[in-house]
Structure 1
Amino acid sequence: MGQHAQAIREKHTARNVTLIVLAVLIVLLAIAAAFGMQLYKQAKSVKAHESQAISSLSAINDPAKLKDAAASQASIAQAQQQTAQAKQIAHGSLWNVAAKMPFVGSDIATVQGMTEVVDNLAQQTLPSLTTAVQQLADANLSGAEGQLNLQPIADAQGNFDKLNQQVQQQNKQYNSLAEPKIGMVKKAYQQGKDQLDNIADLVGQVSNATHMLPSFLGQNGARTYLLAAQTTSETRSGGGLVGSLGTMTADNGKIAVGDFHPNGEFVNGNNGTAEEHAVFNRPLGFSFDVRDTFAVPDVSRNAEMLNASWQRSQYACNIDGLISVDPVFIQKMVEINGPVTLSNGTVLTGENTAEYMLNTIYKDVPVAQQDEYFEYIAKTVMDGAFGNMTVDKMMKVAQSIGDLAENRHFYAYTFHDDEAKYFQGAGLAKNAPESETNPETGIYISEQNPSKMGWYIDRTSEVTKTGDKTYHVKYTLTNRMTSTEMATCTSYILGGEQKGVGGVPVAPSGTSAQRVLIYAPAGGSIGSIAVTGDVRDRSNATMDGKPLNSSMAYIAPGKSVTYEFDVTVSDKATANMKLDQTPCGKMTNDVKYNY
């Protein structure tokens, strides 16, 4: 009986312990649920405050509003109130405990870091930014006879350099935070990142402009630049066929744009190296006179080749650098400066200029008169682009030039080593991929059937991150020419029937023949390239010291060609990989980044 009673007592004890444990677990779960619910409510509140702050800060990305003291100060005051509240909530005791928990801790720590960075930006950096802009806005930039007073811009360099350093450091701190996994946090993180990236870009562009403009406009001595006007309707790797060359002189803020001269006057010699000729020796062998210069995607080589052509001409003179523009750049300057009326009554605006120069003119204006129109447009627009400068205009031009240069619609290259930091060193004159820390894959196309088919070639690209240092790239070229459109086009636009060795037909009129060059990121590699569509003549080559893959894509009306491949970037990469490619007839190329 004693043993039986002992067994019963032990059984009861075990049951009681189990009940106690269950009760404790229920209490803990209740506490955790309450803890989680409270944390969730606070997270929603933080997200709301941050969203309102970001909405207020969006005004800072508009140069006109930034110049308006009352508007910018009101926006910043609203943002400061929201960021302070978000930071206070995110650094409460509840959040500090949650930041050490498994699963959610990393995301909590990221939110805390986000609120710190954005609050620091709103409380300290942005008020200084508006002060610096106001000081510049109050200065007199207009001199006698249209001359630009450069001294106030030069005087602003120190303030904007300091601001740029602060903003770039804040952006770096934000980007170093662990990328969140929870959907709500991830969305808020991306919104903040996009806004901070935009502000960092704007401040960086204005800071660089305060250095570049005085140097560019001759504060350090008179400067003469070659002006190259390209047309991307006949594509070349770094832009398009060079239609004309001219000069622009600048002397302590006074600008003069000389006459443009058609490319026929510069078919005066061969500038290409053996490697460059080897890549472009078929089906149309490029002569590498002035017209084919940008078949090489390195602007350092383009500047060298164009200067060589200029020095062999009757217009030879000392050249300090290269400015190269295309119709998209011209359209953006027309948008900033106002419409341009042509002799035939056509009014060019910030919406129709690129299409007119890349397509319409070839239908409406006789070939013999086209050069005259192109030269008038380019000269008129360049006269206005950097003349009659105001602070508002300077900021609009600075903000535009950053995007235009990034997408290869505008190049500014100097032969003065002491000024190069603010020209090619600031990304205003891109080469094929050469940075290991900011990796790019380069895809460049050059039309090898004399035509103006570039206007009809659409490009869509998708870059998907597949690992810490790996990506997958999908790149598609589509010829949107229709049979109806073909009926309105001359052979000058469509090109003739393409023939190969022995006169054997290769492709009919209206088919775009693009030499496609694919470059791996600097210090990285690309895997095997899969293609769909009519792709021929595939090979590996080296040009100007950089390895590349070369092929010919034949794109008939209504047809497409697609390239797909995997990319590995350098171990030194600190940013996500981007795609660098030949500019098209609009501001940006269609690239979807899946990071």
Structure 2
Amino acid sequence: MARHVQGSGRTAGNGGRSAARSAARSAAAAADWNDIISQPEPSASRRSGGRRGHRPERKRHTGRNVVLTILLILVVLAAVGGFLGLRFYKQALEVKDHETKAVQAVTALADLSSIKDTQSLNSAIAEAKTHTSAAKTITDGALWKAASLVPVYGDDVKTVRGMTGVMDAMVGEALPSLSNNVATLMNANLSAGDSQLNLKPLQDVRTSFSKTNQLVQQQKQTLDALPQPHVGMVKSAYEQSRSQFDTIAEKIDQIDNSLQFLPKFLGSEGNRNYLLMAQTTSESRSSGGLVGSLGSMTTANGKITMGDFHPNTEFNLKGVLTDEETNVFSELEVTTDPRNAPVLPNFPHVAEILNKTWQASPYAGQVDGVIAVDPVFIQQMVKINGSIKLPDGRVLTGDNTAEFMLNTIYKEIPEAQQNDYFEYIVSTAISQMFANMNTSKLMQVANSMGDLASNRHLYMYSFHADEAKNFQGAGLAKGTPSSEENPELGLYVTEMKTSKMTWYIHRKTTITRQECNADGSQTYHVRVAFTNTVPSSDVKSEYEYIVGKNDHYGPMGTAHDAMLFYAPKGGSISNFTTNADEKPSQTTIDGETAWLSKTNISPGSTVSYEFDVKTSTKAKSDLKLDQTPMGWMDPGVTYDTAACAIKQ
């Protein structure tokens, strides 16, 4: 970096000595600002005082992070901008100052569910707009246009100008539109009483929110199309801001899709009947977990009515699965036992299978879709909607619900009563979701549903073709990797031993980009580690239902897992190395090729897989992992994309 500054200084119009002083001042300012940006978050005892004085606590907010990366880029450009003289440097600092004040103005937008009135929301947007407009006016000036023509660094200037424009458009167009939608919901009564949701406000904002989403997606496309920077720090900051903006755009798109289907889903145009599947992810299956029982749920004009749950013994999978599907999981009773339907990672197919088993049962009738939830979903809803008091007096909260349902219940509740507990918890949590609804609660639920669905803790699938697209668009009915432009690696795990051992298997994945190939594809190296954390205190005969028997798989506390690895659509997996009992080999399931490995994981041990992944030549975004859910929200995935940038 210093070499670039010195080289530019020699060609400055006022002579080498003056330009060198200017460049030195620029570099010093950049270094000082970079120190501030990169400082770790101060502890509570250090948030005031210190040589820099009091600074407001930074919040994790994607919009704010995007602006901070823009500021970092501007200061870096000021440091290398000695060749344009002091005027460019001063303008860069002015832009930095405007964007900083814009950040401060919109900090209140970090959590829309906490906003109490639209007046403060609009006031914050107006103040931010004043500063983003001023910053854009500067970067639209003749000096910046001239700088964008400079060889090498010109692309960096163009990128900064483009990013400043994106922020101005977001504050000037997207946020006001979002504010109007929030105002509509805030001024409406979302509760119709008796645990019924008033659907009209949701229907009123659908068209408007769709336009908001279009604005956001357009700005995402603008950001993606900007030139690739040359300066390493600028390049890194640009990639970071693109990643953060992708998160914003994806979230808005999910909410938009949800608003399009939610009224119909809740019976705005006639009653809807759904199968409700509660999955026990402590006994993992590819798309979730063992199905404890099947229930029913009816919606009518925003009112939810829970039906009865029925044990698995009343259903049969016979004749539903293909030979190909049953051969992959031959150790399990997948040919007859409906609890094992989720061994298939493609949830739309699982939904079809469960509907067929329902129609072959005494409860046959109209089914409009299938909903599947797991204890992590239930815990998030309890956190939002309030605790659940069980018949035995214990209280489930937003912190202990998942562990109770996935582990504690098997230790402390007699087996004959466990299904009753599950049914009571699931029914109560879902009934509470729409009771006493208000804007804050609705936003919390909507915000949680996106993350829960993307990590496969929640599925919602409709058999109505006109709605299925929106369900898929909101990520509520995930299948196997299907997009070449947005590549995913599929990792799906099934516990083959009768136990609840998945609760103890902690999965950690690292995905490292190694190369951006000339044909447009990218190459990644992936490491997946499965660690058996079962404590010795739990490996005892009275917990046999949890830790399994001593059998041919191994002693109590040994997990026996089948792993399916799916390459991204249009891509490939190669170069496996592993300490597993069985090295991955190719298999076919539902017409798709996957890699299959089965292995034992004994107490305290770690089984790992390492391999290379190549994406399609059409890939436009970073490789992501789609995987079987664990018993907590953290997916345990680390991404490293610093090696190179995807070419647009």
Q: TM-score, normalising length from structure 1? A: 0.89
- 2:117 corresponds to 1:68: yes
Partner of 1:423: 471
Give secondary structure in 2 for the equivalent of 1:498.
coil
SS across alignment from 2:366? coil
Counterpart CA distance in 2 for 1:426 and 1:202 is 9
Report if the CA contact (8 A) 1:110-1:180 is conserved: yes
Whether 1:568 and 2:605 are equivalent positions in the alignment is: no
Deviation at 1:144, TM superposition (A): 5.5
For the 8 Å contact 2:291–2:338, the answer to whether it is kept is yes
Q: Which 10-residue stretch deviates more, 479-488 or 216-225?
A: 479-488
1:470 aligned counterpart, secondary structure: strand
Which residue among 550, 556, 573 is the counterpart of 1:509?
Answer: 556
Instruction: Give ranges in structure 2 of 5+ residues lacking alignment.
Output: 1-9, 23-80, 517-521, 642-648
Offset of 1:483 from its aligned partner?
1.9
Residues 398 and 121 (structure 1), Cα distance of their counterparts in 2 relative to 1, 3 Å cut: same
Distance 1:536 1:264 in 2: 33
Question: Partner amino acid for 2:486?
Answer: N
Report if the CA contact (8 A) 1:47-1:188 is conserved. Answer: no
Instruction: From the superposition, tell whether residues 26 and 41 of structure 1 become closer, same or farther in structure 2 (CA, over 3 Å).
Output: closer
Q: 1:293 to 1:182 in 2, by over 3 A?
A: same
2:348 counterpart residue number? 300
Kindly provide the amino acid, as one letter, of the partner of residue 417 in structure 1. A
1:530 aligns with 2:577: yes
1:93/1:347 Cα in 2 relative to 1: closer, same or farther (>3 Å)? same
Q: Contact (CA 8 Å) 2:258, 2:474: kept in 1 or not?
A: no
Q: Distance in 2 between matches of 1:354 and 1:56?
A: 38
Superposed displacement of residue 55, structure 1: 5.2
- Name the SS of the counterpart of 1:465 in structure 2: strand
Counterpart-to-counterpart distance in 1, 2:91 and 2:236: 16
Q: 515, 522, 534: which is aligned to 1:481?
A: 534
In structure 2, do the counterparts of structure 1 residues 487 and 181 end up closer, same or farther at CA, with 3 Å as the change threshold?
Answer: farther
1:141-152 matched pairs, under 5 angstroms: 141-143=190-192, 145-152=194-201
For the residues of structure 1 that align with 2:497 and 2:96, how far apart are their CA atoms?
Answer: 55
Match of 1:378 in 2: 426
Query: What residue in structure 2 maps to residue 14 of structure 1?
Result: none
1:498–1:80 distance in 2 versus 1, CA, 3 Å: farther
Choose from 206, 213, 219 the match for 2:268: 219
- Deviation of 1:311 after TM superposition, in Å, equals 1.6
AA aligned to 2:398 is G
Deviation at 1:120, TM superposition (A): 0.9
2:16 maps to 1:29:
yes
Cα distance between partner residues in 1 of 2:485 and 2:104: 31
Counterparts of 2:356 and 2:107, CA distance in 1: 46
Q: In structure 2, do the counterparts of structure 1 residues 318 and 95 end up closer, same or farther at CA, with 3 Å as the change threshold?
A: same
Shift of residue 73, structure 1, vs aligned partner: 2.3
- Contact 1:449-1:498 within 8 A present in 2 as well: no
Letter in 2 for 1:472: H
Mapped partners of 1:424, 1:373: distance in 2 = 31
Name stretches of at least 5 consecutive residues in structure 1 with no aligned partner: 1-22, 500-505
Tell me the distance in 1 between the aligned counterparts of 2:526 and 2:590.
Answer: 24
Contact map agreement 1:255 1:387 (CA 8 A) in 2: no
Q: Structure 1 residues 273, 471: CA separation in 2 closer, same or farther (over 3 Å shift)?
A: same
Work out whether 1:244 is the aligned partner of 2:293. Answer: yes
> Which of residues 574, 577, 581 in structure 1 aligns to 2:623?
577
CA distance in structure 1 between the aligned counterparts of 2:129 and 2:11, rounded to whole angstroms? 44
1:554 equivalent in alignment to 2:626: no
The equivalent residue for 2:180 is 131
Distance 1:575 1:187, change over 3 A: closer
- 441 and 194 in structure 1: CA distance in 2 versus 1, 3 angstrom threshold: closer
Stretch moving more, 408-417 or 479-488: 479-488
Instruction: Kindly indicate whether the alpha-carbon contact (under 8 Å) linking 1:54 and 1:195 is maintained by their aligned counterparts in 2.
Output: no
Query: What does the per-residue CA deviation read over 1:491-535, in whole Å, with 9 as the maximum and x for residues that have no partner?
Result: 111011232xxxxxx32221111100000011111112111x333
For residue 481 of structure 1, what is the amino acid of its counterpart? V
Residue 389 and residue 42 in structure 1: after superposition, are their counterparts in 2 closer, same or farther (change >3 A)? same
> Which residue does 1:448 correspond to in 2?
496
CA contact 1:66–1:133 (8 Å) conserved in 2? no
SS of 2:481's partner is coil
Taking the aligned partners of 1:142 and 1:427, their CA distance within structure 2 comes to: 26
- Aligned 8 A contact 2:346 2:478 in 1: yes
Q: What SS does structure 2 have at the residue aligned with 1:404? A: helix
Q: Which one has a bigger Cα radius of gyration?
A: 1
- Give, in whole Å, the separation in 1 of the partners of 2:134 and 2:358: 62
Question: In structure 2, do the counterparts of structure 1 residues 25 and 377 end up closer, same or farther at CA, with 3 Å as the change threshold?
Answer: closer
Paired amino acid for 1:535: D
Cα distance in 1 for partners of 2:358, 2:114 equals 43
TM-superposed deviation, 1:465: 1.5
The normalised TM-score by structure 2 is 0.82
| 2:609 partner letter | Y
Cα-to-partner distance string for 1:17-61 (whole Å, 9 max, x where unaligned): xxxxxx989955346544516345544554454355345445434
**Aligned ranges for residues 156-171 of structure 1 at < 5 Å?**
156-171=205-220
1:124 aligns to what SS in structure 2? helix
Paired residue secondary structure (1:374): helix
Separation of aligned partners in 1, 2:478 and 2:280 = 18
Cα 1:289–1:59 shift into 2, 3 Å: farther
Deviations 1:60-98 (A, max 9, x none): 342324563133224323422332233233333333232
Asked if residue 360 in structure 1 is aligned to residue 408 in structure 2, the reply is yes
Cα gap change, 1:586 to 1:315, in 2 (>3 Å): same
Taking structure 1 as reference, are residues 543 and 398 closer, same or farther at Cα in structure 2, changes over 3 Å only? same
Partner residue, 1:4: none
- The aligned counterpart of 2:635 is 589
* SS of 2:539 mapped into structure 1: helix
By how many angstroms is 1:555 displaced?
A: 1.1
Residue of structure 2 equivalent to 1:343 = 391
One-letter amino acid matched to 1:361: I
2:364 aligned partner: 316
Q: Considering only aligned residues, what root-mean-square deviation do their CA atoms show, in Å? A: 2.4
1:264 maps to 2:307: no
Q: Is the 8 A contact 1:459 1:475 kept in 2?
A: yes
Task: Call closer, same or farther: CA 1:113–1:298 in 2, change over 3 Å.
Answer: same
Counterpart residue number, 1:496: 549
Give, in whole Å, the separation in 2 of the partners of 1:309 and 1:580: 27
Distance 1:454 1:45, change over 3 A: farther
Aligned-residue sequence identity (percent) comes to 48
C-alpha distance 576-537 of structure 1, shift in aligned 2 (>3 A): closer
Q: Please give the alpha-carbon distance, in whole angstroms, between the structure 2 residues aligned to 1:417 and 1:25.
A: 65
Q: Is the 8 A contact 2:538 2:547 kept in 1?
A: no
Secondary structure at the counterpart of residue 275 of structure 1 = helix
Q: Distance in 2 between matches of 1:54 and 1:189?
A: 18
AA in 1 matched with 2:342:
F
The residue matched to 1:73 in structure 2 has which SS?
helix
* Distance (Å, rounded) in 1 between the aligned partners of 2:246 and 2:324: 39
**Number of residue pairs aligned between Structure 1 and Structure 2:** 566
**Residue pair 1:217, 1:254 contacting (<8 A) in 2 also:** yes
CA displacement 1:278-333 (0-9 Å, x = unmatched)? 21114x45335311111100011100111112122222221010000000110111
Q: Does the 8 Å contact 1:414/1:424 carry over to 2? A: no
Q: Residue 254 of structure 2 contacts residue 450 of structure 2 at CA under 8 Å; is this kept in 1?
A: yes
With 564-573 and 58-67 compared, the bigger mean Cα shift is at: 58-67
The Cα offsets for residues 375-414 of structure 1, whole Å up to 9 and x where unpaired, read as: 1001111112234432322222211111111110000100
Contact 1:297 1:444 in 2 (8 A): yes
CA contact (8 A) 2:376 2:632 kept: yes
User: Quick one: which of 222, 228, 231 aligns to 1:173?
Assistant: 222
Where do residues 82-161 of structure 1 align in structure 2 (5 Å cutoff)?
A: 82-143=131-192, 145-161=194-210
CA contact (8 A) 1:470 1:567 kept: yes
